[in-house]
Structure 1
Amino acid sequence: MRKILLMAVASICLATSAFAQTVKPFKEGDRAVFLGNSITDGGHYHSFIWLYYMTRFPDMHIRVFNGGIGGDTAYDMNKRLDGDIFSMNPTVLMVTFGMNDSGYFEYNGDNAKEFGEQKYQESIKNFQQMEKRFKELPSTRMVMLGTSPYDETAKIKDNTVFKKKNETIKRIVEYQKESAAKNGWEFTDLNAPMVALNQQFQQKDSTFTLCGNDRIHPDNDGHMVMAYLFLKAQGFSGKNVADVEINANKKEAIKSENCTISNIKKIGKDISFDYLAESLPYPLDTIARGWGSKKSQADVVKVVPFMEEMNSEILKVTGLKGQYRLLIDDEEIGTWNAADLEKGINLAAESKTPQYQQALAIMHLNEYRWELERTFREYAWCQFGFFQQQGLLFANNRKAIEVMDENVDKNMWLKGRRDMYSKMIYESVRDARQQEMDVLVSKIYEINKPIIRKVVLRKI
């Protein structure tokens, strides 16, 4: 069984092995903005990336912003750069597009090849307009981010495949890569590795997809794969939460990577020590969050070796015999035998540890922040997806409401946002929600500092 598991992990690693470091890690004070469409707008990948920084670098204050709007193409994004994206004052700007640019139904028509070529040319023409604007941002790091794929290979009931759509998307991603090389920008691709993972798992389950039931919008596991691939591109593969090795007989810390071990004692059959890590384990949400979601963030461990590569908090103790109960701050975590402890156990996989519980509070605060930020993206959709075309961009007055009401019955997307806009039209409401988000971020950076933990191994 272990051999089969190792082979599976090796196979998964092969699917994502092309990710050498191509994107610089964020640094203190960075304002990282993810410009995109509905996959970014309603998605979690950017929030999951920030959660990694919140837990792994507790003293590094950064901000990560959702800059997505549903339905956007490069043309739409270009129109809102000044009023939306640039107003966030990005120090790092991630740019992803292509899903809507590449078109949909016509791929199953009589002129699919010509349609694909037309959409590609339109997309590149629109992106080139953005490219000119990006060159005017000398103090902003640019990162071209190849979009997640349209899944053409999954067997999904009542969902007709748009054949060759992802081929057009891949051409758009390749152009992004060329643009990055030409302009000295950074680049990483989500499309190819996610296609490889989809096809790999579809060999056993033809209905498997990271791209959601519509083949477009990833579920929580897909968004965590996107976060994992981005973090991998930033060079975080192999970076441990902590790595501890204790020689019980000598009462010595043989290894203490990314942590401090002190006060090692052996009293009777107990061995104890103080443990101060420099970071927290990454908490994986087990709830399927978001509209229409069926999978949780934690389901990512079935797809990529996130735990092995990026969430390793190893405790290894040699010189023991028999069974031992592990307690941290008097909380019983579990029972292991001496052989398991000599090999090493991953504390990051144990949700009962006090440090994991500390990280869970951060995760929930970050999710609450994400929910509030989504209301601002819905507000942005109203402004740039509707009012801009009406000549009422940021009018936020009675005239805007009247024009909206004249159109709600003809536009279901507008109708669904009518109640939200009736609140967000007021500056005081927007200010209050922004202040609430700021409080949440402040609280996160207040409680994300690791503290000294008392670790005890008690022989049974």
Structure 2
Amino acid sequence: MKHLQLINFFNRVVLSILLFFAVFTTSAQQQEEDMFFKAGDKVSFIGNSITHSGDFHHYILLYYATRFPDKRLTFYNLGIKGDNANSFLRRMEADIVPNKANWSIVMAGMNDVNRSLYAPEKQAEADIQQRKDRALKDFESYYDTFLTRLKRTKTNIILQKPSIYDETGRLTAVNLIGVNGALERCGEIVDKLAKKHKVMVVDYWTIMNEVNAKMQKHNAQATVVGQDRVHPEPVGHMVMTHTFLKAINAPERVSSLTIDKSGVSQIHAGTVTNLDAGSDQVSFEYLEESLPFPVPPEAEGALKWITIVDEFNKQLLQVSNLDEGVYALSIDDILIHNFTYEELAAGVNLAVYKNTPQYQQSLKVLQQAVAYRNVQRKLRDIKFVEFSYLPQEMWDSKMEAIRQFISEYLSFLQVSNDKRYDTFKKIFDDYLHLKPLQEGLEQRARVLPDSIYLTAKPTGHRFRLVKAERNMPDRSEKPYGVNLAGAEFAHQKTPGVFNRDYTYPTIAELDYFKSRGLTLFRLPFLWERIQHEVNGPLDEEELLRMTAFVDAARERNLWVILDMHNYGRRFVNGTREIIGSPNLSVAHFEDAWAKIAEQFKEKENIWAYGLMNEPHGMLDSVPWFTIAQQAIYRIRKIDSQTPIMVGGDSWSSAQRWQQASGNLKDLVDPSTNLIFEAHLYFDKDASGTYKGTYDTEETTSETGMMRAKPFVEWLKENNLRGFLGEYGVPDDDPRWLVTLDKMLEYLKANGVNGTYWAAGPWWNKYKLAIEPRNGMDRPQLSVLLKYLKTNGE
């Protein structure tokens, strides 16, 4: 009996242990020994304008805040634009020493070489080489003196080799040949001084040269710095950040979790509870100790050239022993991605998925870090004037005395007809505006780090893996949807800079509109961006963006229309040409669509290829009918399945359809799978600009329906399929909504679906936009949600 009791006791113990591991599994924290900088450290970045701007060291702060959110650091921006090693000595006691930093990270060289000595017109001067050599000799002497004095403060020192001067790019600034070689010599001096003072070195110069060469191999106008050849833009600052993190051997993992048939088999920097694992589904609660590092959108271009995500941003999830199939991963009921069982078994890096709640939280940390950077920039702008233009005895003077000095100085320049007057006037005006704000800016600079670290505190999330539903909805339901604009923005900038001139819709937008019942999305894009040169290859980066959007929609069983948003035109060698003109032939247009169709013909969720947005004013000798017919034939040689959507002439006007586009009924499609696209707006000129009020635009409740009628009647007479690709109303008068409602009721009754104009991430307060504001639906959505599918076939 005692033997049985003992067995039962041990069984209960074993069961309790198993339940513990099934329900609660934790790991050691991110170890402080993994941190180069330790909790509580104060870190000063001392330098010139490249430090003054603040991007690279704020990216480093962002890394630390998201990776070690419970171990706060304080970063000081001690950059001054125009500074050199001698300037560091001048402001050392007033600006550098008082921070009592644990670490001082120093960069000089760009101004020390005296770039003006390399101007082309100076190269014939007899003593020019001696002056260049003297500048480098002075750099070494001043820098050595500065480091000797800095070491006495008991701070730890890191020296940074200067960033590059771009002598190889086809850029707008005058090319000062020899500057980059002088900076290389500065780097050699840095190595020499580092050895003497026994400090470490971060080598930006070598890495940035390598990246710059790779960039310019593809595009001679690209640069890792800026058009001025000197100052890195965000991409360059991210390259510097990557170089710095490598130099300090920063930890690579955000977190990692491995689940197999026995439960959690490996975990790093996190806690798992409520694990329920089967062969075809897995769910659990997961509290990670870190957040993924959010790469700012404006710096994403660096990811093509550096491996910062692979090396320093691994948020790994690995799940093995699943049945064969595709699994949908959701976090907090948000669909993140569909993964094959093989991908999950090998492990996936969640840090590359921007729609995770963790990444979205990191973006909020980024917002706080940007605010901190901006405040510090303004404070450095104040110090720039004081240290660079005011006499040392006036650095702590009252404003009255400073104003008097500035007034007298500017008067002297003006009386002397000094060409620098306008420049100095602006510098001093900006200073006089900022200086009274200094106390408030300093207060913000003290509290913003608290906001950064508070925002970075991780929270728990519910993970769920289930077999994905892969069937697309029935096409015959004819869904309504919305235009997701952004990729066509800044059409005059071709190709433009991604995330500066234009953007792409986000996964969050797909999820938002799907949650409201909208399942069809028209994606406007520019011909010049997807194909930089006529008859050339499709641009790989733009194609990746477009494909990523289409694939994200497919994962959610959503339809996409690819809409070439070019109005029958495109830029060729800087000039906007019309299709059919000598420099832009119909064959060029055919070629573009053939290459697009080749890439997307296997995609199951392409609702249609939208040949051209709002063609108008086409050449009499090459009418829109001819252009569309040739493109249809060419596409059908590649893709016989996907519907082709043909917009009407005369801005695709529904109201003018029968006069301007009636002949499109004679288009021939070998696959008999055409859809005709019209557009319709309710203002007086039907342009969609809505410059006036509902009354001054002379709109009535019947306007939309009456303008749609010519198009709808034409479709019915010719037994053709139609689509209303754009329609939209302002949010400033409820009567617009009545007009919209009546038109949609009419369209639905006649089996015509469409996409509302517009949504997209950059609309801000555009009055037609239906992006939610402050988490609230826009008023137009209440009408749109009444019409999710037509009564058609």
Band the TM-score falls in, shorter-chain normalisation = 0.7 to 0.9
Report the CA distance between 1:438 and its aligned residue: 2.4
Q: Which residue of 1 aligns with 2:225?
A: 211
For 1:381 and 1:329, locate their aligned partners in 2 and report how far apart those are by CA, in whole Å.
Answer: 48
For 1:241 and 1:267, locate their aligned partners in 2 and report how far apart those are by CA, in whole Å.
Answer: 26
1:272–1:407 Cα change, 3 Å: same
Aligned residues: 421
Q: Which residue of 2 aligns with 1:133?
A: 149
- Runs (4+) of structure 1 exceeding 4 A deviation are none
Q: Which residue of 2 aligns with 1:240?
A: 253
Q: Which residue of 2 aligns with 1:57?
A: 68
Q: Which residue of 1 aligns with 2:460?
A: 452
For 1:375 and 1:405, locate their aligned partners in 2 and report how far apart those are by CA, in whole Å.
Answer: 22
Deviations 1:145-174 (A, max 9, x none): 111111112121x33321121222122222
Q: Which residue of 2 aligns with 1:372?
A: 375
Q: Which residue of 1 aligns with 2:307?
A: 305
1:373–1:243 Cα change, 3 Å: same
**1:341 equivalent among 341, 344, 359:** 344
**2:290 equivalent among 279, 283, 288:** 279
Which amino acid is 1:123 matched to? Answer: F
1:425–1:105 Cα change, 3 Å: closer
Report the CA distance between 1:33 and its aligned residue: 0.7
Name the stretch that deviates more: 171-180 or 276-285.
Answer: 171-180
Residues 117, 168 of structure 1: 8 Å contact kept: no
1:411–1:86 Cα change, 3 Å: farther
**2:236 equivalent among 203, 209, 222:** 222
**1:189 equivalent among 203, 225, 240:** 203
Work out whether 1:422 is the aligned partner of 2:438. no
1:24–1:327 Cα change, 3 Å: closer
TM-score (structure 1 length as normaliser): 0.87
Report the CA distance between 1:119 and its aligned residue: 1.3
For 1:169 and 1:123, locate their aligned partners in 2 and report how far apart those are by CA, in whole Å.
Answer: 11
Deviations 1:261-313 (A, max 9, x none): 33220369431012221211001111xxxxxxxxx122221110111111111
Name the stretch that deviates more: 81-90 or 196-205.
Answer: 196-205
Which amino acid is 1:152 matched to? Answer: E
Report the CA distance between 1:24 and its aligned residue: 8.1
Report the CA distance between 1:329 and its aligned residue: 1.4
For 1:137 and 1:259, locate their aligned partners in 2 and report how far apart those are by CA, in whole Å.
Answer: 39
Work out whether 1:436 is the aligned partner of 2:450. no
For 2:257 and 2:278, locate their aligned partners in 1 and report how far apart those are by CA, in whole Å.
Answer: 20
Report the CA distance between 1:435 and its aligned residue: 1.9
RCO higher in structure (CA 8 A, sep ≥6): 1
For 2:150 and 2:445, locate their aligned partners in 1 and report how far apart those are by CA, in whole Å.
Answer: 28
**Counterpart mapping for 1:112-127 below 5 A:** 112-127=128-143
Residues 38, 69 of structure 1: 8 Å contact kept: yes
Work out whether 1:384 is the aligned partner of 2:387. yes
Residues 33, 67 of structure 1: 8 Å contact kept: yes
Deviations 1:8-62 (A, max 9, x none): xxxxxxxxxxxxxxx9811111111111111111240011100000000111111
Secondary structure in 2 aligned to 1:262? strand
Which amino acid is 2:148 matched to? Answer: K
Secondary structure in 2 aligned to 1:275? strand
Name the stretch that deviates more: 429-438 or 83-92.
Answer: 429-438
For 1:26 and 1:245, locate their aligned partners in 2 and report how far apart those are by CA, in whole Å.
Answer: 29
Work out whether 1:151 is the aligned partner of 2:151. no
**2:87 equivalent among 64, 70, 76:** 76
Find the structure with the greater CA-based Rg.
2
Residues 251, 264 of structure 1: 8 Å contact kept: no
Work out whether 1:171 is the aligned partner of 2:185. yes
Residues 113, 183 of structure 2: 8 Å contact kept: yes
For 1:224 and 1:132, locate their aligned partners in 2 and report how far apart those are by CA, in whole Å.
Answer: 31
Secondary structure in 2 aligned to 1:416? helix
For 2:451 and 2:130, locate their aligned partners in 1 and report how far apart those are by CA, in whole Å.
Answer: 53
Which amino acid is 2:267 matched to? Answer: S
The alignment's C-alpha RMSD in Å is: 2.0
For 2:173 and 2:423, locate their aligned partners in 1 and report how far apart those are by CA, in whole Å.
Answer: 22
For 1:414 and 1:307, locate their aligned partners in 2 and report how far apart those are by CA, in whole Å.
Answer: 43
Secondary structure in 2 aligned to 1:34? strand
Which amino acid is 1:400 matched to? Answer: I
For 2:173 and 2:433, locate their aligned partners in 1 and report how far apart those are by CA, in whole Å.
Answer: 36
Give identity over the alignment, percent: 29
**2:40 equivalent among 4, 17, 29:** 29
Residues 97, 153 of structure 2: 8 Å contact kept: no
Q: Which residue of 1 aligns with 2:124?
A: 110
For 1:411 and 1:349, locate their aligned partners in 2 and report how far apart those are by CA, in whole Å.
Answer: 50
Report the CA distance between 1:257 and its aligned residue: 2.2
Residues 327, 455 of structure 1: 8 Å contact kept: yes
Name the stretch that deviates more: 193-202 or 369-378.
Answer: 193-202
Report the CA distance between 1:413 and its aligned residue: 4.9
Deviations 1:78-132 (A, max 9, x none): 1011111112221100111000111223223125533321211121222233133
Report the CA distance between 1:419 and its aligned residue: 4.1
Residues 43, 223 of structure 1: 8 Å contact kept: no
**Counterpart mapping for 1:81-96 below 5 A:** 81-96=92-107
Work out whether 1:362 is the aligned partner of 2:365. yes
Give unpaired runs (5+ residues) of structure 2: 1-33, 415-419, 469-793
Report the CA distance between 1:245 and its aligned residue: 1.8
**2:216 equivalent among 202, 206, 230:** 202
For 1:278 and 1:414, locate their aligned partners in 2 and report how far apart those are by CA, in whole Å.
Answer: 50
For 1:116 and 1:446, locate their aligned partners in 2 and report how far apart those are by CA, in whole Å.
Answer: 50
For 1:413 and 1:369, locate their aligned partners in 2 and report how far apart those are by CA, in whole Å.
Answer: 28
Report the CA distance between 1:412 and its aligned residue: 4.7
Q: Which residue of 2 aligns with 1:292?
A: none
Secondary structure in 2 aligned to 1:80? helix
